[in-house]
Amino acid sequence: MRLRALFLSLLLLSGCSREFIEKLYDVDYSTTNRFANNLAPLPGQFTQDTAALDRLMNSFNGQVKRYWGDNDSLVASKRQYVKYTDGYRSRAHVDFERGVVIVETVAKTEPTKHLKEAITTTLLTPDNPGGVDLYSDSAIELSGKPFLYGQVLDNEGKPIEWSWRANRFADYLIDGKMKKRSERFHQVYYVEIPMVADHANQRGYKYASIVRDASRRYGIAEDLIYAIIKTESSFNPYAVSHANAYGLMQVVPKTAGADVFKLVKNKPGIPTPEYLFDPARNIDTGTAYFYILRTRYLKDVRDPLSLHYSMISAYNGGTGGVLNTFHSSDRKRAMNDLNSLQPNQVYWALTNKHRNAEARRYLEKVTAFQKEFNQGKI
């Protein structure tokens, strides 16, 4: 999913924040450097010029609003896949939280023809984030196994992999399931396709070997990696956020990504969005950042369970946010105070006293998903 541009805000204390002011400890990362050779950034068309990004996003948003209006515009997010095609007249919207695929068109002539093409394109969109530009109306090359394979079943209860089945299902939907709604300046023709009940698990299964490899590489538990992915993106490899976070583990290139490149990979620069939309590289980078949290930024946390809670909280709200929970100005004292508490007290503090409400909820969500994973529910 080569998103050509993304959001512009750089929130240093959100999603996987790097602690620039934190003292760097001496840590030997030679055990992980051998993986760097295979993880060079992909050549891409992304620019670091925020003014250029601003222009590109304004152009994209302008095109969307031109056809859909201010009140009916959608853009991709962490748990919402949105892709415009057909000169911005048609779009696919996969709502991973609700478990529904909505395909729509505002075409004024032959709307059913445009809707059918959009349906088949959506059903056959490949399982390759690098091949889909979410910030234009560019066509999608339909090759390989579809991303929604197994997550959506046709009217016969069959998964959809080939064009003949996608076309037949599209005809079925248009003949009996098509709906119409009126917006301020246009008519919208659409269909809603329910996803299977375990659609999140269907997506998660695909990354099992990648998660296992990353877990072994960095010594981070598999259940934690799965829980982070479930919390961050609901296993949506196309996930993007307002904080310039990308992919399954919602890695921010200029913060966590930069740390991993410098401290683990021994390479200059930062990972590109293209790099982070690759599931294997994304999971490797997110897991490597946990390795940094454990062995560098939070290495002085003595109790393993307290460290576990602190790492999860820091992944979302930064190491500074964790330490600030225990003392607002003195980091050494904050660490001492943290170490004086039992793990359940550390958990309580981070879920009740952390200055950021999102970080408080985040630790609760991740630990709950870890339990689900270990009970076989993820």
Q: Which residues are catalytic?
A: 232
Task: Report the distance separating Cα 278 and Cα 319, nearest Å.
Answer: 26
Task: Report the distance separating Cα 129 and Cα 57, nearest Å.
Answer: 19
In this structure, what token pair is assigned to residue 254?
A: 């200029």
Is the distance from CB of 277 to CB of 238 less than 8 angstroms? yes
Count Cα neighbours of 137 within 13 Å in the Cβ-side half-sphere: 17
Count Cα neighbours of 302 within 13 Å in the Cβ-side half-sphere: 8
In this structure, what token pair is assigned to residue 124?
A: 């056959």
Task: Report the distance separating Cα 307 and Cα 88, nearest Å.
Answer: 48
CA distances from 347 to 207, 334, 341 (A): 29, 15, 10
CA distances from 231 to 62, 134, 248, 249, 302 (A): 31, 22, 9, 9, 26
Task: Report the distance separating Cα 240 and Cα 229, nearest Å.
Answer: 13
Is the distance from CB of 101 to CB of 152 less than 8 angstroms? yes
Q: What angle do CA 137, 5, 128 make, to 5 degrees?
A: 65
Q: Which runs of consecutive H residues, i.e. helices, occur in the chain?
A: 30-33, 50-68, 111-124, 163-176, 199-205, 208-218, 222-233, 258-259, 273-277, 279-292, 304-326, 331-339, 343-352, 357-374
192 forms beta bridges with: 102
Is the distance from CB of 119 to CB of 103 less than 8 angstroms? yes
Task: Report the distance separating Cα 243 and Cα 254, nearest Å.
Answer: 11
